Amino acid sequence: MESASAKIDKKIKELGDWRGKTLAKVRATIHAADPEIVEEWKWVKATNPGTPVWSHGGIVCTGETYKNVVKMTFAKGAALKDPAGLFNSSLEGNVRRAIDIHEGDKIDEPALNDLIRAAVALNLRDKNRPKK
């Protein structure tokens, strides 16, 4: 069985355009922010080959690719402070927030690192909170 990391490698290669390069850059930034992050491949079904997911103490974010955008969806994004204003999509939800990256967009890596670290810290805090 193919590992999640191998599937993400394959996805990046198959895209072969700016989206693949952007997904690879996002992936590298995620790993730089948290070397303990785990790569997963989730939500495979007949109509969807699956989605790259990065987790540490729970889902941190996903890396979806569409025709005109690479979307990073943070599972608990609404609970995160975003002083740099990276979140630009899914702003109306109560839980998730997303960053849509379009062709030519520059990724603010220091701000993204902070957001990833905050998401991990939130996951670990929630995971260690006593159950009621």
Mean pLDDT by groups of 10 residues along the chain of 132 residues = 90 94 96 96 86 96 96 96 94 92 96 97 82 62
Domain that residue 110 falls in: 4-128
Predicted pLDDT of residue 131: 63
Predicted pLDDT of residue 130: 67
**With 0-12 CB in 10 A as exposed, 13-18 as middle and 19+ as buried, what is 54?**
buried
**With 0-12 CB in 10 A as exposed, 13-18 as middle and 19+ as buried, what is 30?**
buried
What DSSP string runs through the chain? ---HHHHHHHHHHHH-SHHHHHHHHHHHHHHHH-TT-EEEEE--BTTB--EEEEESSSEEEEEEE-SS-EEEEETTGGGS--TT----BSTT-SS-EEEEE-TTPPP-HHHHHHHHHHHHHHHHHHHHSPP-
Domain count along the chain: 1
Please report, for the domain that includes residue 111, its CATH number.
3.90.1150.200
Predicted pLDDT of residue 9: 95
Predicted pLDDT of residue 18: 97
Q: Which two tokens stand for residue 37?
A: 């992050």
Predicted pLDDT of residue 46: 83
The torsion angles phi and psi of 63, rounded to 5 degrees, stand at -130, 85
Predicted pLDDT of residue 49: 85
What pTM, to 2 d.p., does this model score?
A: 0.91
Predicted pLDDT of residue 119: 96
